[in-house]
A and B are shown apart, each in its own frame.
Chain A
Amino acid sequence: MKSWLDVAADVRRSVTLKKSRRSIYTRAGAWHDAPSIGQEAASVGSIATLRPEDLIIHHHRGHAIHTIAKGANLTTMMAEFLGKEPGYCRGRGGSMHIADIPGGNLGATGVVGGGIPTAVGIALALQMRRSDRILLSYFGDGATNEGEFHESLNMASTWKLPVVFLCDNNQYGMSMNVSKVMNIAHISERAASYGIPGQSVDGNDVLAVYEAVLAADERARSGQGPSLIDLMSYRWRGHSKSDRNLYRTPQEIDEWKHKCPIRRFKQVLVDGGVMTRDEVEDIDQAAKTAIDRAAEEALTFPEPSPENMEAEVYAP
């Protein structure tokens, strides 16, 4: 089990994330920015449970949170967001399809739910090869209404695969509140249909996330099969740039801003005597500087050339 200090080190990354939602997308002319502000603890707390060789596969809102938490180089990540040649996917994946293969981040996907069956396939391969690595499969609350979510949990459960299913539940799929599209109180209840453990956790409490996911990791690693953990949080910003928040109230958004997972963990660190307030704020400042520097550097990088547009569609 990791110590508090290890987790505190991971929060450094969490704070970094927040600063990455600057307007560099707009400056660089990129289109997509699915902001994950407010949801940092779920990805940081869960990825902190992993061994370095473990894997993740995530979603359209994971381009920054999961990617940084899995240890990405900030400059290379920013370069990818900006579609630059030195990016993680040489500017071909962008924010929605970023992948850091050597880092064990097998990629985000723009297809909601699309990563879940792939995760099951990866887990099956890990099992067949007698590997002791595990995989975290992330998806949103909306994605759990796609058929492939259910089909995947069924297979993974039947074959006791080394995967943990993690729902980044921000309570909305675009404009749709989760309560209007499923007749159960908690997404974790769905686990019962597949005979696996299901748990709903306060996704804004990084330590609660850490503990729940670590237990599920151990279960997966020891051959007992998958679990479903519902990491309940909230998306502060609109779904994307064009969202006008017609489906929720400003009060609701404000309430959740008061439950900021980063501020909350900072307080825990200070109250527990792990760090001083100054140390915590220093991390914040350092994160801001690191992100700014990464973005500035990435902006100077070369763009992909049209000459090799058709390269790498097939093996050379």
Chain B
Amino acid sequence: MAEITLIEAVTQAMAYEMRRDPSVIVLGEDVGVNGGVFRATAGLHAQFGSERVLDTPLDETTIAGLAVGMAFQGMKPIAESQFDGFIYPMMDHIICHAARMRSRTRGRLHCPMVLRAPCGGGIRAPEHHSEAPEALFAHIPGLRVVIPSSPARAYGLLLAAIRDPDPVIFFEPKRIYRQYKEEVPDDGEALPLDVCFVLRDGHDVTLVTWGAHVKETLEAAEQLAERGVSAEVIDLATIKPIDFDTIRESVKKTGRCVIVHEAARTAGIGAEIAAQLAEKSMFDLVAPVERVTGYDVPIPLFRLEMKYLPSVERIIAAVDRTLAYR
């Protein structure tokens, strides 16, 4: 079996599900012959033709709106936003219609669509090409939000997202699109959409992260291990709903929690996790919860970008602050 990258796993999942389910349709700007800006839809047009891989005019608002309409008719559209920063005009239809239709009609109409978008910084691209807007969507009742961090998890989670009967916002961390390869069996096995992944066991501190920053967080855990500090690493993966049980179990063991995300700090997902810890795990904690995040600024251009993104050093410094409490 060939090893594939995260972006190839995304393609593989879409192709699998398109073969299995004729109601799955891919649509967006340049997704056809061009195979998408990052090449996530490469080869799909050749395999499935123009009716199932739809090149749309340049019009995010209506791409989102028409995916909603197709989904209301029982189709399973997978719409693409070329970059994270161009998803904002789509939010109108996603928030006002996709997310609410099930509850508005008491289940008579629902919206089985996926909105895929590359996310995050680290590729030396300007603003709208480097954003991490997951918290904006996680705030909306009725939406699921998913961010994979490895080829295998990208495959399994995207399959689950396509099969899910409700709208799923699927963010793909572009910085790690081609970071490494691994074997991903094309077996159509989906992963659950409400369970996070414990990537490393530990007993001194719990590190919670997702997407591209899983790499830096694992590296920090490795360096901490050399100093005799045992860090548990959790890949959140499903940003909404959050599998809080797993985080709570871990914190019961470690007493410390550091949350790492690249989105701006204020009202980021880290704040939600910290709030839940305060509500439910207060007496398990021996140290204040730490957050290592982007700053409250638009992500800066390439010269300052790596200073903005959480680094291994910043993660270790935060862990050290929690270790000062005994």
Contacts and interface: CB of A to CB of B under 8 A. Distances in A.
Interface of A: 29-32, 83-84, 91-97, 110-113, 142-143, 145-147, 173-176, 180-182, 242, 246-247, 303-304, 306, 309-310, 313
Contacts of A304: 300, 303-304
Interface of B, helix, strand, loop or mixed by DSSP: loop
Contacts of A91: 301, 303
A316 to B, nearest CB: 15
Given A96-B126, A111-B128, A306-B304, A145 B58 contact: yes
A143 to B, nearest CB: 7
Contacts of A31: 123-126, 129, 302
Interface of B: 29-30, 32-35, 37, 55-62, 85-86, 89, 123-129, 295-298, 300-304, 307-308
A248 B123 CA distance: 27
Contact of B58 (A32, A84, A173, A306): A173
B158 to A, nearest CB: 23
26 contacts: A30-B302, A31-B123, A31-B126, A31-B129, A31-B302, A91-B303, A93-B301, A112-B86, A142-B57, A145-B58, A146-B60, A173-B57, A175-B30, A176-B30, A176-B55, A176-B58, A180-B55, A181-B58, A247-B34, A303-B303, A304-B303, A306-B304, A309-B295, A309-B308, A310-B295, A310-B297
Contacts of B86: 111-112
Contacts of B85: 110-111
A174 B127 contact: no
Contacts of A246: 33-35
A84 B303 CA distance: 8
Contact of B34 (A142, A175, A313): A175
Contacts of B126: 31-32, 94-97, 110
Contacts of A83: 301-303
Contacts of A32: 125-126, 129
Contacts of A180: 55
A33 to B, nearest CB: 11
A66 to B, nearest CB: 17
A95 B125 CA distance: 10
Contacts of B307: 306, 309
Given A84-B303, A246-B33, 6 more contacts: A31-B302, A95-B126, A110-B85, A111-B85, A181-B57, A309-B307
